[in-house]
Structure 1
Amino acid sequence: MTIIVYVTSVTFKKELHTQQNHIETVLKAKQLAYQFIDIAQDVSKKEEMRERCGNETAVAPQIFNEHSYCGDYRMFQQAVEEDRVLSFLKVT
């Protein structure tokens, strides 16, 4: 089981950079295997992310457990605050 996070390395928004770092910090703290896919490096990955989310306007970061969609950063943050990250990531 690998958590897949679609991110972007090209952003002018500090908030987005902070969100992506927060996701990585939590995944490391929970000792979960993860992979970041950079949609800025390959345009087809952005289209793939949107198709997998079922939202043609979705923006990074988007989080998946293998093939199952978990949610976006807002949903992740809420799960962190409610101490239910593992269920959000579908690992329990």
Structure 2
Amino acid sequence: MQPLTPYHGNHLLHYPRTTRVALFYQVKKHQQAVVGFLEANQINFQEVDITMQEEQRLWMYRNIPKDKQPERGNPLPPQIFNEDHYCGDYEDFFQSKENNTVSEFLRLTCHQTKTDSAS
């Protein structure tokens, strides 16, 4: 999913507040879907709030491959990593669920699943 940008071709586009709010809720919905799946399948994970951690946000932006970067702006969350390895974005995650290849997408090993309820 591409973030909203003020330019499309040579035309200036104005996005109403309702569009920005809808985008916010879509991002939250995608984040909840990923977290819900990981919790339901007892997969260890750490959720990082990049809005509050500048260093983590910059690290994330630097470690997303160039071919996954939008033409303008920054990639939208959720962006999924396994340690320092970039797995993909929500669309990649969703496709791996559809194809029943989430373990491969996340590069999981058997010791990366939860043994308790802490995350």
- The bucket for the TM-score relative to the shorter chain is 0.7 to 0.9
Structure 2: gaps spanning 5 or more residues: 1-19, 110-119
1:82 pairs with 2:99:
yes
Letter of the 2:63 partner, please give it: R
Measured in 1, the distance between the counterparts of 2:54 and 2:90 equals 21
Letter of the 1:23 partner, please give it: V
Which digits, 9 at most, give the CA deviation of each residue in 1:45-76, with x for residues without a partner? 21110111134632211001111110000100
The structure whose Rg is larger is 2
CA contact (8 A) 2:82 2:106 kept: yes
Letter of the 2:64 partner, please give it: C
Which digits, 9 at most, give the CA deviation of each residue in 1:4-58, with x for residues without a partner? xxxxxxx842111110000011101221110011110122221110111134632
Matches within 5 A, 1:25-40: 25-40=36-51
1:50 to 61, 65, 82: 61
Instruction: Answer 1 or 2: which has greater strand percent.
Output: 1
Letter of the 1:33 partner, please give it: N
Is the partner of 2:59 in helix, strand or coil? helix
- Aligned-residue identity in percent: 32
Q: Tell me the residue number matched to 1:17.
A: 28
Letter of the 2:51 partner, please give it: A
Measured in 2, the distance between the counterparts of 1:91 and 1:45 equals 22
TM-score (norm 1): 0.79
TM-score (norm 2): 0.63
Q: CA RMSD in A?
A: 1.7
Detail structure 1 runs of 4+ shifted over 6 Å in the superposition.
none
